[in-house]
């Protein structure tokens, strides 16, 4: 791999995506979609202020990002790669399906409505609100764009080409949900947290995110979970989900 070429391509892509970035933010939060969010964007710690800038092409951390991208490609034709493809579904249903095994019970809208409602809103708060400001500001190009190589999920490539890579929204969803579910089913917390961690790593394997996107997404996800515990709507829904889980266990 020609490192100079990588640096040049990265610089050109950053300039291109910065031009494409929206100058006005369309507000999407509990004010406009109350069935999808607990929080408002103003409630959440700014990812732009909280996180460092993503590694630049002349940064040693970028070399680590590239190394992890190459590691991820080696996992693609393995069972771990197949799991990464399944993890690409970032809907509430997809996150529930990914974490249900570790949780010990299937989390579905029909079977566990209170748990599902909780996860659905946590997914929106974490995947969108906790990452939005940094994503929109940096508009970091994704690995598959820089290297002009296919991903494991080609159907998502065109849409995500216009969405910043840093930090990873998928990772934030999975990690925040894992933190909340680990609080509900304490006995399974190790398995739940491991699965939530692996959910983020799947984004590296798919070629959609750099390792630094994933690592920093877990930071903002933890922050939004802390903020959720100060929100009355979340606390109320968490209590309902815990009662539903207790009924499942008994």
| Residue 209 annotated in active site | yes
Task: Give the total residue count for the chain.
Answer: 250
Any residues with CB less than 8 A from the CB of 98 and at least 6 apart, and which?
Answer: 86, 87, 89, 174, 195, 199
DSSP string, 11-25: HHHHHHHHHHS-SSP
Contact, 96 vs 116, CB < 8 A?
A: yes
Region label for 91, one of left (φ > 0), alpha (ψ between -120 and 50) or beta (otherwise):
beta
Return the DSSP state at 133.
Answer: H
Among the listed residues 29, 87, 198, 213, the single catalytic one is 213
Whether residue 80 lies in the annotated active site: no
Which residues have CB under 8 Å from 6's CB, separation 6+? 57, 66, 146, 147
Active-site entry in 140, 195, 203, 218: 203
Residue in 209, 215, 218, 227 annotated catalytic: 209
Nearest by Cα to 129 from 240, 44, 239, 194:
44
Collapsed DSSP state (helix, strand, coil) of residue 127: helix
Concatenate the DSSP letters of all residues of 149-214 into one string: ---S-GGGHHHHTTS--SS-HHHHHHHHHHHHHHHH-GGGHHHHHHHHHHHHHHHHHHTS--HHHH
SS3 15: helix
* Active-site option among 68, 170, 218, 227: 170
Place of tokens 């002349």: 58
Residues marked as catalytic: 170, 203, 209, 213
């Amino acid at each position: 791999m020609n490192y100079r070429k990588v640096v040049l391509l990265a610089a050109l892509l950053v300039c291109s995506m910065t031009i494409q970035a929206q100058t006005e933010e369309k507000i999407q939060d509990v004010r406009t979609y109350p069935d999808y969010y607990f929080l408002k964007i103003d409630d959440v710690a700014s990812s732009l202020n909280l996180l460092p800038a993503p590694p630049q092409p002349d940064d040693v951390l970028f070399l680590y990002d590239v190394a992890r991208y190459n590691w991820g490609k080696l996992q693609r034709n393995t069972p771990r790669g197949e799991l990464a493809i399944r993890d690409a579904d970032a809907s509430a249903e997809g996150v529930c399906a990914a974490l249900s095994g570790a949780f010990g019970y299937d989390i579905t809208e029909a079977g566990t409505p209170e748990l599902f409602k909780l996860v659905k809103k946590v997914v929106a708060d974490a995947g969108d609100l906790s990452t939005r400001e940094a994503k929109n500001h940096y508009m970091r190009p994704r690995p598959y764009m820089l290297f002009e190589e296919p991903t494991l999920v080609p159907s998502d490539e065109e849409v995500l080409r216009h969405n910043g890579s840093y930090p990873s929204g998928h990772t934030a969803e999975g990690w925040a949900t894992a933190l909340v579910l680990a609080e509900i089913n304490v006995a399974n917390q190790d398995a739940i947290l491991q699965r939530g961690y692996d959910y983020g790593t799947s984004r590296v394997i798919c070629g959609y995110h750099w390792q630094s996107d994933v690592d920093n997404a877990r930071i903002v996800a933890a922050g939004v979970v802390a903020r959720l515990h100060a929100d009355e709507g979340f606390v109320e829904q968490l209590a309902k989900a815990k009662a539903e889980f207790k009924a499942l266990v008994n």
